[in-house]
Amino acid sequence: GCPPALVRQSDRKVNFVDSLVDSSTQIVEAIWPLSSVVCRSELGSKAVLPLRTFIQETLRRSRTSYSTLQVALYYLILIKPHVPKHNFTTEQPHDRHVDRALQCGRRMFLAALILASKYLQDRNYSARAWSKISGLNTQEINQNEIAFLLAVNWQLHITDEVFQRWTEIVLKYTPPPSPPSPGAGSHTYAQQSADWKQLILRLEPELANVDGLIPTTPVSATASDLCALSP
């Protein structure tokens, strides 16, 4: 028979990055189930990007590193217990900006990304630059950031142990990129995605309970995939 086709390093990197974008999207969807639904009040006169495209474009435009994304995704686990329970699409009890910000998966993903960047790097984009990257005005970017910080009581430090554990969880259980066409693989992908979302919903911030939440269809990234993307 023919020898197996070799996968180019660049293709591996693309696949790995796609997996992380999918994973990020699914984390946001798990915590904010309505994040893929565009509310009429959100539309205004602009077309709103699909959630996955929004995340992909935000990461691309901001040139976010792998490490920064990992920290940002962990911050979403931190904010998870503080997301208000009342329905985002119904009238708010007090219509406070903080409540509305915390209920928007896109805004919280962006706030987490900004805070992760500040946590890890000495030089960062200004609010004005993030405004150009995201399309939100600078005042709202600052307000969303403060809302996030207040919700987690300004506790953004991550111990090495927790970060290592989180990295392993993401690499091990992130579903591979979705199959291009429906088929046998699509059912497996759907199951892996559902398992991943359930894992996210039940994870505690310390991640100590992960062993009791192991999905039925774990996915392990290969060593070559990990080498393809530098921290």
Give pLDDT tens digits for 12-48.
Answer: 555 667 788 989 999 999 999 887 765 444 444 456 7
Q: What does pLDDT average to over the chain? A: 79
Q: Would residue 34 count as lying in a domain?
A: yes
pLDDT bin (cut points 50, 70, 90) of residue 182 is: low
pLDDT over 70 (residue 145)? yes
pLDDT over 70 (residue 153)? yes
Q: What is the pLDDT of residues 89-107, one digit of tens each?
A: 555 555 566 778 889 999 9
Q: Would residue 118 count as lying in a domain?
A: yes
Retrieve residue 130's tokens: 């993030």
| Rounded CA separation 141/127 (Å) | 7
Mean pLDDT of the 203-208 span:
92
Q: What is the pLDDT of residue 189?
A: 80
User: What are the Cα distances from residue 12, in Å, to 17, 127, 203, 231?
Assistant: 9, 33, 29, 15
Query: 211 versus 68: which is more confidently predicted?
Result: 68
CATH number of domain containing 83: 1.10.472
In terms of C-beta density within 10 A (0-12 exposed, 13-18 middle, 19 or more buried), how is residue 85 classed?
exposed
Q: Would residue 121 count as lying in a domain?
A: yes
Query: 228 versus 14: which is more confidently predicted?
Result: 14
Q: Would residue 13 count as lying in a domain?
A: yes
| Rounded CA separation 107/28 (Å) | 10
Domain that holds residue 141: 9-178+187-210
Tell me the percentage of the chain whose pLDDT exceeds 90. Answer: 49
Q: Which residues are within 8 A (CB) of 25 and not within 5 positions of it... i.e. 6 or more apart?
A: 51, 52, 55
| Rounded CA separation 35/111 (Å) | 15
Rg of the chain over CA atoms, in angstroms? 18
User: What are the Cα distances from residue 188, in Å, to 33, 193, 200, 209, 218?
Assistant: 21, 9, 18, 25, 11
Say how many Å lie between the first and final Cα of the chain, rounded: 38
Q: What is the pLDDT of residue 41?
A: 46
Q: Would residue 87 count as lying in a domain?
A: yes
Tell me the percentage of the chain whose pLDDT exceeds 70. Answer: 71
Query: 51 versus 226: which is more confidently predicted?
Result: 51
pLDDT over 80 (residue 66)? yes
Q: Would residue 51 count as lying in a domain?
A: yes
Q: Would residue 105 count as lying in a domain?
A: yes
Number of domains in the chain: 1
Mean pLDDT of the 75-89 span:
82
What string of H, E and C letters represents the secondary structure of 122-186? CCCCCHHHHHHHHCCCHHHHHHHHHHHHHHCCCCCCCCHHHHHHHHHHHHHHCCCCCCCCCCHHH
Q: Would residue 223 count as lying in a domain?
A: no
Q: What is the pLDDT of residue 36?
A: 72
pLDDT over 60 (residue 140)? yes
